[in-house]
Structure 1
Amino acid sequence: MHIRPRRSALYMPGANARALDKARSLPADVLILDLEDAVAPDAKEQARAQVMAAVHEGGYGSRELVIRVNGLDTPWGHGDLVAAATSGADAVLICKVDSAEGVRQADRVLRAAGAPENLRLWVMMETPRAMLAAGEIAGACPRIECLVMGTSDLTKDLNALPTRDRLPMVTSLGLCLLAARAYGLTAIDGVHVDLDDAEGLAAACRQGRELGFDGKTLIHPKQLDAANEAFAPSVEEVTRARRIIAAHAEAVAAGKGITLVDGKLIEALHVETARRVVALAEVVGVG
């Protein structure tokens, strides 16, 4: 089973050359090189040039490189997509998407600009319309690989409050998770904006993993450890997963379809989950 870890997805401002260089040594699974929110309008062109140069230069190791572009309804969106199409990045993250047609429009621009088939498309899910169209967006085109929650924008649009338990977000998070899983996509949780609230960050990471997210988007390097730990299996989880795999194999060899581990019924579906835990653990070096 091949798994690419996406425990931590760190936004890096495209206009900050020093940050782009520092990112080469950070323990992030994913680096989102940002041309949108983190860049002022008068710095958009410079940021685009710096990001493309940084990706071309390389040196990011196994870190997944994703370029977040401006929307096609802005003066920079089309140029961003054209530049990203042949940049060598792993994926392009599009923002403010409200419908499947918005995804297909971006895909058409990428194709016309010569994007290879293995350039993936990630989609920010950050508006009420996107929540209602989550299933259509997730299945909009074969290039889509990941749904990324934009909880800050969504909180604003909902007139909701940024509570510690994130109860106002639960419906939206669930809709996007359902859509992602229905189409075999990765789902990454939204940011935690309070950099001084380590306890809140840890709680949000735990909640995200419990809900089913694959990782969390982050706004500062000091948040990386919390996300990497929360979205990786513990040693205990890995040990139990290996026991489940072994016990089920013994049961199958004995002509049985089910068995017990620690008094709990184990079926093929539990083995599938256990194998995923072990595969992720091997990639990130746990157990």
Structure 2
Amino acid sequence: MSGDQAAYRPRRSVLYLPASNERALEKAKTLPVDALILDLEDAVAPDAKEQARENACAAARSGEYGRREVTIRVNGRGTQWHLDDLRAVAAAGPDAVVVPKVGSAREVEQLVAALEEYGAPEHTQLWAMVETPQAMLHCEEIAGASERLTVLVMGTNDLAKELHAEHVPGRAPLLTGLSLCLLAARATGTVILDGVYNDVKDAEGFEAECVQGREFGFDGKTLIHPGQVEVCNRTFAPSAEAVEDARGIVAAWEAGAGSGVVTLGGRMIEQLHVDTATRVLAIDEAIRALDEA
């Protein structure tokens, strides 16, 4: 089993940044984002790969990103840069290594073995991007393959491409894959992040997709623009009303301890409601602590 939901770490907003862009790396130190993915893959041209790798590793070592979780996305297996990326990133020791197009438990095991061989510190986790039909069908095996794998990242653009599907409001063509991966994440205790929203000028559509992701049960969302951070943070955090209700549920349960039946505002309260309320309060507390850090 991967991850520990009892020790909640906010990952509401997770921003991709091209590691070749030094100005973007500098600006990220001031953004109210929970986590960063310093990208060596899609956002970086072939002739800029080596410089991007140096930049990302330097950023991970710098300690200048404060409370933000700093991860690095390496180039995928089978590319000419993959092993060099893994060696350098393992030595740099970021919070996590993000690997694209992970499709099987065997791949996870091989990646973990490589990280250990290259001397990655224990705190460096593995985040697996799931973005192919194969990954959708084997997601539980992927998520449960190693304790080092703590986060699944939905690659919705690549998934749509592989399915020959269209990008439409509501994401109906992707819902089966999203649901399968969510089931896998919850079955294995793994954090799961929703995919990106491509139109940075469509604020209404972006917020609607954030709400959909939260309602589905995603822990947060990956982003492609700093302007998306605030809405994402707000949407994936419990509302003031939800926190107040959760406190009421917990208080009512504690006051009625041993009675077997507890009600709050006409609602019958059971242990499952208390468990959900406790999780809401833990998330709220963790977000407040992060914001104060």
The TM-score range, normalised by the shorter chain, is: over 0.9
Q: Does residue 68 of structure 1 match 2:73? A: yes
Question: How much does 1:156 deviate?
Answer: 0.7
Q: Secondary structure at the match of 1:285?
A: helix
Mark the CA change 1:86 to 1:265 in structure 2 (over 3 Å): closer, same or farther: farther
Q: Does residue 285 of structure 1 match 2:254? A: no
Aligned partners of 2:38 and 2:71 also within 8 Å = yes
**How many pairs are equivalent?**
284
1:220 is aligned, of 217, 225, 228, to: 225
Question: How much does 1:285 deviate?
Answer: 2.9
Distance 1:258 1:210 in 2: 28
Residue equivalent to 1:97: 102
2:156 is aligned, of 145, 151, 162, to: 151
Which consecutive residues of structure 2, in runs of 5 or more, have no partner in the other structure?
A: 1-5
Question: How much does 1:284 deviate?
Answer: 2.0
1:264 aligned partner, one-letter code: R
Q: Does residue 274 of structure 1 match 2:277? A: yes
Structure with higher RCO (Cα < 8 A, 6+ apart): 2
Question: How much does 1:88 deviate?
Answer: 2.8
Give deviations 1:8-60, integer Å, cap 9, x for gaps.
00001110011111101001001011111111111111100011111112211
1:152 aligned partner, one-letter code: N
Question: How much does 1:262 deviate?
Answer: 2.1
Give deviations 1:122-160, integer Å, cap 9, x for gaps.
000101110011111011111010110000010011011
Aligned partners of 2:13 and 2:223 also within 8 Å = yes
2:135 aligned partner, one-letter code: A
Q: Secondary structure at the match of 1:202?
A: helix
1:250 is aligned, of 252, 255, 262, to: 255
* 4+ residue runs over 4 A deviation: none
Residue equivalent to 2:133: 128
Aligned partners of 2:256 and 2:262 also within 8 Å = yes
Distance 1:264 1:103 in 2: 45
Further displaced range: 84-93 or 130-139:
84-93
Q: Does residue 110 of structure 1 match 2:111? A: no
Q: Does residue 172 of structure 1 match 2:181? A: no
Distance 2:260 2:96 in 1: 41
Residue equivalent to 2:3: none
Further displaced range: 220-229 or 86-95:
86-95
Distance 2:8 2:265 in 1: 28
Q: Provide the alpha-carbon RMSD of the alignment.
A: 1.2
Q: Given the two structures, how large is their TM-score scaled by the length of structure 2?
A: 0.94
Q: Given the two structures, how large is their TM-score scaled by the length of structure 1?
A: 0.96
Further displaced range: 217-226 or 260-269:
260-269
Q: Secondary structure at the match of 1:51?
A: helix
Residue equivalent to 2:143: 138
Q: Secondary structure at the match of 1:37?
A: coil
